[in-house]
Structure 1
């Protein structure tokens, strides 16, 4: 790119012999036009195109629920344009061709709250899941009153995350249980996260899964 302020083309605009001339403010610039791409569908571009529809489909399924609010908070904390842009940035590589989704790497939530220590699922079947953890409350990013929430994706609705209804369990309790609904599903992907008492801050999520026997 060249600056043309001292040339006869200063103040001009348009195309000339493979170059484009344009103005920004009071300055005139000239740059070479991009060459035509002989193969715009490279393997990398094709893979990227396959990822985007899956990510967009899942985000649309979250737009009317609590998870949209969680993503909007994450976007503000990380100074991203929107929860939509945060979700695409975090999860584009989770999706692939032929409806492939790596659920274990999916990030449905994020935020400045900490997850508790050593969170694990100690029991689980097609009716419920029981989680335990070590209470790490005592700081601004981890309060005993932070509430456990569980989002789920069922394999018969693979693009539709939902937050499950459950009794109140807090960080200070050290354990929590969520009941699973009946249905035609065979596998459920669970994402445990915490919300502050005011539900203005959230934590990242921890992944678990249950398959019917």
Structure 2
């Protein structure tokens, strides 16, 4: 129960109706209690929260990677939030409660640098991932010195192995070392490029789900 000590304009302690009185550093102040939400879990809200959780689980393991690869689209927001926004709108498939990531349509890097050509990923040696691509230097904005952006996502474990400074575009191949416990498990693999000075990145390309030797 609230008490008005000095008239209606001051000295209110506690709550009277939807008005709450308090004191901060000797100053009395009033605030209005927010109206309660009659149904905070409408079907639309539940649907959106489930989609959000799906994308969050996908992106969280590569938070540091996204700080580099979504830099161009982080105007007024963090790089992670830019990645969340894109993938929420473009990379969720299914219906509630069975939402999943649409891996071919997801992006883990986004930009206007020329994308990789003919990318592929395989694993023939334990705890190693082999990637290949065609050197398309000179096509569009592609430069021989661009560095490979590589992500291998272990969705079951909620982990990712990545690099933002892989071999040059002109190299045509890369080797990514993996934890030994990944042997026998499937990883979702993406390849992109970043310019040598780090100012430009390409959209990522999904190379498929790879069973690790």
| TM-score, normalised relative to structure 1 | 0.64
- Contact kept, 8 Å, 1:152 with 1:164, in 2: the verdict is no
- Contact kept, 8 Å, 1:113 with 1:142, in 2: the verdict is yes
Q: Matched residues in 2 for 1:57 and 1:212: separation?
A: 21
Deviation at 1:52, TM superposition (A): 1.2
The equivalent residue for 1:129 is 129
1:112 aligns with 2:108: no
- What is the aligned counterpart of 2:181 among 180, 183, 190? 183
Which contiguous aligned blocks of 4+ residues in structure 1 show a shift greater than 3 angstroms? 36-40, 56-63, 79-82, 95-105
Q: Matched residues in 1 for 2:190 and 2:164: separation?
A: 13
Change (3 A) 1:180 1:108: same
What stretches of structure 1 of length at least 5 have no aligned partner? Answer: 1-35
Deviation at 1:38, TM superposition (A): 8.6
Task: List aligned pairs for 1:68-147, cutoff 5 A.
Answer: 68-71=67-70, 73-76=71-74, 79=75, 81-92=77-88, 93-94=91-92, 97=97, 100-121=100-121, 123-125=122-124, 126-138=126-138, 141-147=141-147
RMSD of equivalent CA atoms:
3.3
- Contact kept, 8 Å, 1:148 with 1:169, in 2: the verdict is yes
The equivalent residue for 1:199 is 198
Change (3 A) 1:130 1:56: closer
The equivalent residue for 2:55 is 55
1:171 aligns with 2:169: yes
Deviation at 1:139, TM superposition (A): 5.6
The equivalent residue for 2:154 is 154
| TM-score, normalised relative to structure 2 | 0.64
Q: Matched residues in 2 for 1:179 and 1:104: separation?
A: 23
What stretches of structure 2 of length at least 5 have no aligned partner? Answer: 1-36
